[in-house]
Amino acid sequence: MSPAQQLTQSATAIAIGLIRTGRAEHPQRVGNILRLERKAGGYFWISFDGRELRKGMTLVDAEELQDNFRVAMALVGRHRIKG
Count of structural domains, the chain: 1
Digit-coded pLDDT (tens) for 19-35: 999 999 999 999 999 99
Q: What is the pLDDT of residues 29-57, one digit of tens each?
A: 999 999 999 999 999 999 999 999 999 99
3 vs 14, residue with greater confidence: 14
Domain residues for the domain of 21 are 3-78
- Displacement of CA 78 from its chain's centroid (Å): 13
Describe the crossing of helices 9-20 and 67-78 by its angle, rounded to 10 degrees.
90
Does any domain span residue 83?
A: no
Q: What is the pTM of this model?
A: 0.90
How buried is 73 (Cβ within 10 angstroms: 0-12 exposed, 13-18 middle, 19+ buried)?
buried
